[in-house]
Copies of this chain bind each other. A is one copy, B any other.
């Protein structure tokens, strides 16, 4: 393992010059720089990151705090973040903080306190817990994905808007009996689910329609189970479903098929996400791109890492409607209503 001293000796200069030549900070004659770099190359010199972190105070490492790794949204965000960091030469260290676990406590108490990072990306921390504020308190730049924050920069989908658009799409098609599937309630459960439910409720009320919410686990099996329940009673059956997310929507489509209910002629379904499976199920949905959100968050963060006084930024993305085959006018309605519902 050759250190910078070996490089310096090999190039016939001092450690200081070698360091300048290698990092690019400060004046070095072009010829010397070239010579130093060549020697470094020959020796296979790799700077010790702990030594340079100690000297500079910067780690070239970004921390990512996430409650789950094995869900589509989170894995996609992570890939987006990773791609940008990789390109910029930053490491990524992952802090898995499952809600309500001892491990999460440790992440906040012990791990994050070590500050082995120049900045932090926090994904979907629940705002109620004020954890985001604690992260900001650590004293490194923080970018929040999903959750709003007064202090940190934010990258997120406008979930209320997405749910309103989904609902409006069905209303435009002529549906009146539209049920929202998934989540706990509008005052409990994950914040995202609540906002989506809220968007649906306000859109329904604005159109003078009766809203109805069937709770379910926000997952494919959750959507399946709840939909089997809901759809098997012909009396209660709606003509359309707004799902809390694509996985729930797909669960519902699978349930409908099993029960012999044709989609979309007997039942329309809209999701939110544009999940990787949505295309295969012909699901009409509101697209959000978690990968791009992750990439945007990483870029925002690096800016702040480089210019510590950079302004806090907020990106609130509008989902784009992708119409596929899972939605159509309800049974008995043949023409499509015109005009957008707010």
Contact = CB atoms under 8 A, between A and B. Distances in A.
A23 interface: no
Which of A46, A50, A93, A94 has most B Cβ within 10 Å? Answer: A50
A83 interface: yes
A115 interface: yes
Interface in A84-112: 86-87, 89, 91-94, 96, 103, 106-107, 110-111
A190 interface: no
Nearest to A57: B50
B96 A86 contact: yes
A116 B92 CA distance: 11
Given A50-B59, A107-B86, A257-B258, A280 B221 contact: yes
A24 B294 CA distance: 41
B96 A82 contact: yes
B220 A280 contact: yes
Interface stretch (A71-79, A317-325, A333-341): A71-79
Given A103-B87, A113-B46, A221-B280, A69 B53 contact: no
Contacts of A103: 83, 86-87
A279 B115 CA distance: 42
B107 A82 contact: no
Contacts of A224: 280
A114 interface: yes
Given A78-B69, A86-B106, A96-B79, A54 B50 contact: yes
A57 B107 CA distance: 23
A254 interface: yes
Contacts of A2: none
B221 A277 contact: yes
Contact of A94 (B54, B72, B82, B110): B82
15 contacts: A49-B50, A49-B115, A50-B50, A50-B54, A50-B59, A50-B116, A61-B116, A69-B82, A70-B75, A75-B75, A86-B111, A89-B110, A91-B93, A91-B116, A220-B280
